Structure 1
Amino acid sequence: MTILKLLMPVIAGILLCQASFAEIDRSQLLHPVKTDSPRATLKSFYDAMSDYKRGVETKDSKLEKRIFDAIRTFDLEDIKHTDKETFSKRAAVFLKETMDRVILLDYEKVPSDELVSSSSLKKWRLKDTEIKISLQQEGERQGEWLFTKDTILRAREFFSRVKHVPYVAGSGMGASYSKPWYETEVPEWLKGETLFMPKWQILALFFSILIGLILRKVIFFVVDNIKKFTDKSQTDWDDKIIEASEYTLGSIAACLFWFLSIRVINLEGNSFLILDVLLKVLLSFFVIKLAYQLVDVFTSYLGTKAAATDFPLDDQLVPLIRKSLRIFTVIFGALIAVQNLGVNVMSVLAGLGLGGLAFALAAKDACANLFGSFMILLDKPFRVGDHIVFNGVEGSVEEIGFRSTKIRSFYGSQISVPNSSLANVNIDNMGRRKTRRLRTTLGLTYDTSPAQMEAFLEGLKNIIRANPYTVKQGFNIAFSEYGDFSLNVLINVFLDVPDHGMELLQKQNIFLEAMRLAEDIGVEFAFPTQSLYLQNQEPIAAKVVNDEEYSTLAKSYGPDGSKAMPKGKGLFTPAFMD
């Protein structure tokens, strides 16, 4: 029972809503404005403005919106105005006020659908006026009868010529027009014109500019004082936000003040159009600039957070996010700015479709580079900071962008490589190596004795084992070959180091130890030399003088021979045999 009591208000509300919805005449919700003939257009306009007048007087917002139905009877296609809606509303009010002061409408005398269809009538004019309605010959509203462009543009002029005349008896009594403040408040001596403008407007414009500049300074002073408090906070992000908006906020406030001022002082004509366009452009510029600077602060914050994590992908995504937000801010801001100037952005974008094929061909490489950047991010063949080698290019990855990847070579230069190229080449990622190989050959002079060679090999083995960055398993030290001018010793070892700098340092340490070892053992490193024998030089005497002694000496190096030492003198033991 308790649940039923709780549900009763809900049920009653649903029933009331259903009853109210049932009373709505849905057929009238999207009922079109009739413009099939001069009579239909004139009646649609007049009825809509009469409803608007009643809505203003009764403060009925639904009736006030009927002014938009009146505007639908206007030919606005070729009218260029930065604020077309406000201009059209004023024209509708002026036109209604003019009609009610000069004529009592008799719709029976206005051409109807039947008369229009049976005649070649293309334009109709309201009796004794220059208010005209014409048939649209082309465009989206072809076949409709609309108030002409000239009528709409001259609506204020018409009203100014008849505003002193009382309303015609039996008319709709205007459109609730009220005199603007300047007509009652401005002294007569300031209403005279100078430089095509009333004196009071020139004076008001001057003070508006002055107040706007003062406002800009005040905003800057306030923000500067706020900065003193943010300097004391523990975080520096509030400081960066203040620095990004310090100079721009004042300019935005000044532009907004001037934008409102030219409307309050009721500038009209070319002076209004020029200032309105200028202020909209300036306001859009400063808003886009502020958004652009805040994007930099936001992405810097993201970069700090990414640097604090061990996940490498976010370090690569932050530069892409920064560029994406910058491009989006500029393009989106520019589109809104153009839209505010009265340009139909959608029609412009649709028109660009005509050049779509040419653009697609021109942007083929750009799209390939864009997809290449996505493939690099998804496949992750390298990341920022990696040392990579490909197609003769070697260096450290600095940045992965939309179009190209920036690589800092070891010569200090920056190399930009298109991402489409990187996505289709073999990349040797030196930064992904678990260990880094050191493979080199040390050449000793030919006067090195076997004992010295073995001692040198054993010393190199111990140097490798003593270094904390070498891999102790699988390295090789060996007397590898007789060279043209040296006895070659092979060093093949792997270094467990984090980066290229540490790799070079440990190579240096191993080579320095090898130099000290050679000095202590008494061997020397060979360098390219040639021996020159003169023709009259006495030949070197041989130790053996007959073949039998040669044979005996050779056999002594065989199995169980007196000179046989297949494992050396025992001074050196290979690392893999220890």
Structure 2
Amino acid sequence: MRIRNIAALWVLGMLVAGSARVAAQEAAPALDAGPYASPQDTMRTFLDAIAAAVDRNDDSSWGRVEDCLDISEINKDRARIAAEELRGVIDRLEFIDWRTTPLPTAALVAADGIRSYTYFPAPRFESKLAGRRVQGAIVLARGEDGRWRFSADTIARIRDLFRTVEEMDRVEQLQHVGEGSLSLWLRRQMPRALKGIDNELFTVEYWQWISLFVIILAGFLVDQVVRFVLRTIGLRLIARQGAGDRVESVRLAVRPIGLVAAAVVWLMLLRTLGLSDVSLFVLLGAARIFGILAGVWAAWRVTDLVSEVLLAKAVATDTKIDDVLIPLLRKTIKLFIIIFGFIFAADSLHMRDKVMPILASLGLGGVAFAFAAKDTVENLFGSIAVLLDRPFEVGDWVLIGDTEGTVEEVGFRSTRIRTFYNSQVTVPNSNLVRATVDNYGRRTYRRWKTYIGIQYDTPPDKMIAFVEGIRELIRTHPHTRKDYFHVYYNRFGPSSLDILLYVFHQVPDWGTELAERERLFVDIVRLADEIGVSFAFPTRTVHVAPGDGPALSEEAPRAFT
């Protein structure tokens, strides 16, 4: 019984919820199209907004202008030019106060099912056109969101329509209005022989070809000026830092920066030519890719230049942590330069909406990539461990596993060691996390253990004098440890009396150690000459006992002479 009551209450609740949902759907208000609710509203909004944007330089109004246009079929970079061309056509057809005067046949669009309204062509404009061949139309279409916009086909073909009517004067009430943008003003100044549908090549008019040539020259001129200025400034700054002669490095760094400046000039001026959609897309895309490649190149070269300057200053410091940190940071920055260059390139070609979903949809592929990149991550943490723990520095003599040599470079992924037979060994940084690092370069003292052999016939007084003399040499030597050393007769060798020489040198590197060891060696030889002690070398005396055999005849052949 209790279960039945619960089931009944559940069914009743579902019915109530369903009824409420249906009622809410029925009560849902229609889409609020606002200032785009009808063709007349859209026309009024468009003309008011573009007048504010062009005539009064109100950049915030461009958003309302573009909301009136369906730009799905054109390059977004041409939207503003298309809007100005659309305004230019309307201003040459008629003047209507859209706030008080309705559009002709505007009542027809209020009925359900009407989704487009043709403003042009229309019979009332035939006298205006005076037999001109018209290409294109001005149509407003109602979208799924209830808003009326100038249709995509209208915007895609507005350039041809504008070229049809551009020689016409604006209507009398609008003759005081200028062309507004530099693009239309520049076009207005060109002779008829260089513009128009009949005067173009590959959708680019003759005057635009000439302008493209001028724009390219302007870009290269800016390139030369920027390079000269930056080269002069850069050399002066580096000279003040005392980083040495960097003329070639500065030249290599400013070269791509000049190309970036040229690309910026091209991107700014290309928009002033009123090019067709395809031409503008191709040229702007090429200029953007050129600019991005030059920007990546410039960032790469500047990173190298800054690293060289910092390394030159790091040489003068006592610590070597900067010798490790600067190359690591340089490689890390270059990695980010490549990543951001790829992102900007995708964005400039309007491919970000395609690339980002691909990256976001990796799913299991991302997991597989993570496993594949495990070694890379380990190497990264190994680099961080080397940077933080500092088990060695550039220039140290180290023994890592079976690898022994001098550290040349600590990179993002690996550490390079120059062995004593002049080969280069690359050790992955992930191995450094677990490996035992024996750093000979951090020794305070460097041990020298050897034996000095003197002849067995050396008198005891000379033996004692020689040993005491060696001890005194160690005490007076500028680079030996004075509180701990051993010089004693240690053993009877096969051919000599052996003196144990156990001494430590306090020197910064192996080269200095060899030089100071040589100095002590020569001093010991001189001491031996002064005292009259002779060094022993392996000798052997062979005694042959006479046997019972016959003696050799004097005439017998001899094997040895």
Normalising by structure 2, report the TM-score.
Answer: 0.69
1:68 paired with 2:74, answer no
- Tell me which residue corresponds to 1:188: 192
Please give the residue correspondences for 1:414-493 in structure 2 after superposition, counting only pairs within 5 Å. 414-444=424-454, 453-483=463-493, 487-493=497-503
**Counterpart selection for 1:391 from 391, 394, 401:** 401
Task: Determine if the alignment matches structure 1 residue 205 to structure 2 residue 205.
Answer: no
Overall identity of the aligned pairs, in %: 32
Contact 1:452 1:523 in 2 (8 A): no
Q: Which letter does structure 2 place at the counterpart of 1:471?
A: R
Residues 48 and 67 of structure 1 are in contact (CA less than 8 Å); yes or no, is this contact kept in structure 2?
no
Alpha-carbon distance in 2 for matches of 1:135, 1:229: 60
> Secondary structure of 2:271's partner?
helix
2:547 corresponds to 1:524: no
5+ long unaligned stretches in structure 1: 1-32, 539-578
Distance between the aligned counterparts of 1:489 and 1:233, measured in 2?
A: 57
1:507 is aligned, of 503, 517, 535, to 517
Whole-Å separation in 1 of the counterparts to 2:471 and 2:234: 64
CA contact (8 A) 1:404 1:419 kept: yes
C-alpha deviations, 1:303-353, integer Å up to 9, x for none? 344444444433432223333334444443553344333332x76345324
What amino acid maps onto 2:80 in structure 1? K
Which residue does 1:3 correspond to in 2? none
Letter in 1 for 2:156: L
- From 353, 359, 363, give the equivalent of 1:352: 359
1:279 aligns with 287
Q: 1:35 and 1:205, CA in 2 relative to 1: closer, same or farther beyond 3 A?
A: farther
Taking the TM superposition and a 5 Å limit, the aligned residue runs for 1:270-309 are 270-309=278-317
State the Cα distance separating 1:461 from its structure 2 match: 2.8
Within 5 Å, give how 1:90-105 maps onto structure 2.
90-94=81-85, 104=103
Please give the per-residue CA displacement for 1:515-561, whole angstroms capped at 9, x wherever unaligned: 4455554443334x7776657569xxxxxxxxxxxxxxxxxxxxxxx
Change in CA separation of 1:219 and 1:461 when aligned onto 2, cut-off 3 Å: closer
Check conservation: 2:323, 2:394, Cα contact below 8 A. Answer: yes
1:159 Cα deviation after fit: 4.7
Does residue 156 (structure 1) correspond to residue 159 (structure 2)? The answer is yes
> For residues 379 and 54 of structure 1, what CA distance do their matches in structure 2 show?
66
**By how many angstroms is 1:439 displaced?**
1.5
Q: Distance in 1 between matches of 2:537 and 2:246?
A: 64
Aligned-residue CA RMSD in angstroms?
A: 4.7
- Select the residue among 311, 315, 332 that pairs with 1:324: 332
Distance 1:440 1:99 in 2: 103
- C-alpha separation between the residues in 2 aligned to 1:184 and 1:463? 98
Q: Return closer, same or farther for 1:455/1:69 CA change in 2, 3 Å cut-off.
A: same
Counterpart CA distance in 1 for 2:515 and 2:106 is 100
Q: Is the 2:193–2:199 contact (alpha carbons within 8 Å) kept by the matching residues of 1?
A: no
Q: Select the residue among 50, 56, 59 that pairs with 1:59.
A: 56
Aligned to 2:80: 89
SS at match of 1:365: helix
Contact 1:388 1:429 in 2 (8 A): yes
In the aligned structure 1, how far is the partner of 2:540 from the partner of 2:314? 61
CA distance in 1, matches of 2:398, 2:374: 27
- Equivalent residues of 1:457, 1:477 under 8 A apart: yes
Compared CA separation, residues 204 and 80, structure 1 to 2 (3 A): closer
Please state whether the residue corresponding to 2:436 is helix, strand or coil: coil
Give the deviation of 1:372 after TM superposition.
Answer: 0.8
Residue aligned with 1:154, SS: helix
Q: Structure 1, residues 467-522: CA drift from partner, whole Å, max 9, x if none?
A: 23222223222333345665443222222222211211222233334444555544
SS of aligned partner of 1:471: coil
Letter in 2 for 1:298: V
2:289, 2:348 within 8 Å by CA — same for their partners in 1? no
Q: 22, 46, 49: which is aligned to 1:49?
A: 46
Q: Distance in 1 between matches of 2:104 and 2:542?
A: 128
CA distance in 1, matches of 2:521, 2:228: 64
Deviation of residue 157 (structure 1)?
A: 3.5
Q: Which moved more, 1:151-160 or 1:470-479?
A: 151-160
Paired residues of 2:379 and 2:430 also in contact (CA < 8 A): yes
**Within 2, Cα distance between the matches of 1:381 and 1:220?**
43
Written as runs of structure 1 = structure 2, the 5 A alignment for 1:137-286 is 149-160=152-163, 180-191=184-195, 192-196=198-202, 197-217=204-224, 230=236, 243=251, 247-248=255-256, 250-286=258-294
Distance 1:298 1:159, change over 3 A: same
Tell me, what secondary structure is at the counterpart of 1:416? strand
Contact 2:454 2:533 in 1 (8 A): no
> Which amino acid is the alignment partner of residue 493 of structure 1?
V
Inter-CA distance 502–340: structure 2 relative to 1 (3 Å threshold): same
Q: Give the 3 Å change call, closer, same or farther, for CA 44–487 of structure 1 in structure 2.
A: farther
Contact 1:34 1:40 in 2 (8 A): no
Q: Which runs of 5+ in 2 are unaligned?
A: 1-29, 95-101, 122-136, 549-561
User: Aligned partners of 1:501, 1:87: CA distance in 2, in Å?
Assistant: 69
Post-superposition shift, 1:375? 0.9
- Give the Å deviation of 1:229: 10
Residue pair 1:387, 1:395 contacting (<8 A) in 2 also: yes
Please state how far the C-alpha of 1:202 moved relative to its aligned partner: 2.4
Output the TM-score relative to the length of structure 1.
Answer: 0.67
Deviation at 1:187, TM superposition (A): 1.8
CA distance in 2, matches of 1:254, 1:404: 38
Asked whether the equivalents of residues 75 and 146 of structure 1 are also in contact (C-alpha less than 8 Å), the reply is yes
Which digits, 9 at most, give the CA deviation of each residue in 1:56-93, with x for residues without a partner? 587383xx64542453465656x573xx1x42233445
8 Å CA contact 1:383, 1:397 repeated in 2: yes
* Whole-angstrom CA distance in 2 between matches of 1:271 and 1:324: 39
Q: 1:507, 1:402 → 2: CA distance?
A: 38
| Contact 1:389/1:395, CA 8 A, preserved across alignment | yes
CA distance in 2 between partners of 1:443 and 1:481 (Å)? 10
Q: Which residue in 2 is equivalent to 1:498?
A: 508
Please list, as runs of the form range in 1=range in 2, the aligned pairs for 1:358-377 lying within 5 A after superposition: 358-377=368-387
The change in CA–CA distance for 1:314 and 1:68 in structure 2 (over 3 A counts) is: same
In structure 2, give the amino acid aligned to 1:90: I
1:431 partner SS? helix
Q: Deviations over 1:4-58 (max 9, x none)?
A: xxxxxxxxxxxxxxxxxxxxxxxxxxxxx96889x84857743531431453587
Contact 2:250/2:305 (<8 A) preserved: no
Cα shift readout 1:187-209 (whole Å, capped 9, x = no counterpart): 22223525333222223333443
Q: Find the residue that maps to 1:434 and give its secondary structure.
A: coil
Counterpart CA distance in 2 for 1:472 and 1:378 is: 35
Whole-angstrom CA distance in 2 between matches of 1:526 and 1:244: 63
- Aligned-partner Cα distance in 2 for 1:107–1:484: 124
